[in-house]
Amino acid sequence: MQIDFHSHILPAADHGSDSLETSLAQVALAGEFGIDLMIATPHFYPRYDAVNTFLDRRAECSRVLMQALPEQSPRILIGAEVQLCRNLDRMEELKELCVRGTEVLLLELPANFSLRSHEQTMEGLLFGRKLKVVLAHIDRYDTSTIDFLLDMGCYAQLNASAFCHFRGRSRALQWAAGDRVVALGSDIHGTRVGYKELAQAKKRLGKDYDRIMSRTQQLLGL
């Protein structure tokens, strides 16, 4: 099973897909590549968006897309890309932001992330709320920061683009060879790039690609 763990395909839910037409084109591109399951992960910024407002918007955008999907489309699960903020672990509705039917939370680190400011919140997510925290696109961050969070118990997701550029490629391959990278994502927003980067990532990863996909299935309980 091939799983795109990180995608922005819900029409007008965030700055990903701008319309139903774009969303359907994105899903079609995924199907052509051979994706079986997509996780729809619209951005949720706790500092700027009320959780109930976000959930209502996500539900409506999901409904619009699901009703229009052709029969042979990849399966879609609903989740979110949640930006970390202090005290996020205290949010009552946090479970609603996990991938539906799981305790898997895709977490994006903020630009102002620091271990000193956010370590207590991370501990609350992992050990208080007992969530399976997957760090989004770890290829964007400082290696020492990510390694510390992985040692805490977080999992990691790599963007396909990490394997397409010489700078940082070796680092991404090293991470992928370990056991904490549990997912790959297209992080698709529009249709220009499509799944070209994921195709390159699959080629460069070799057997590690299948291993990561197996980890994703286990993580989601599939």
Domain segments of the chain as ranges: 3-220
Within its chain, how far is the Cα of 27 from the centroid? Answer: 16
Contacts of 8 (CB under 8 A, 6+ apart): 14, 15, 16, 17, 40, 41, 42, 43, 81, 187, 188, 189
Task: Kindly indicate whether the domain formed by 3-220 is annotated with CATH number 3.40.640.10.
Answer: no
Q: H-type helices in 130-195, by residue range?
A: 143-152, 166-177
Spatial separation of the C-alpha atoms in residues 19 and 30, rounded to whole Å: 17
User: What pTM was computed for the model?
Assistant: 0.94
pLDDT in tens, the chain (222 residues): 999 999 999 999 998 999 999 999 999 999 999 999 999 999 999 988 899 999 999 999 999 999 999 999 999 999 999 999 999 999 999 999 999 999 999 999 998 888 888 999 999 999 999 999 999 999 999 888 999 999 999 999 999 999 988 777 888 888 998 889 999 999 999 898 889 999 999 999 999 999 999 999 999 999
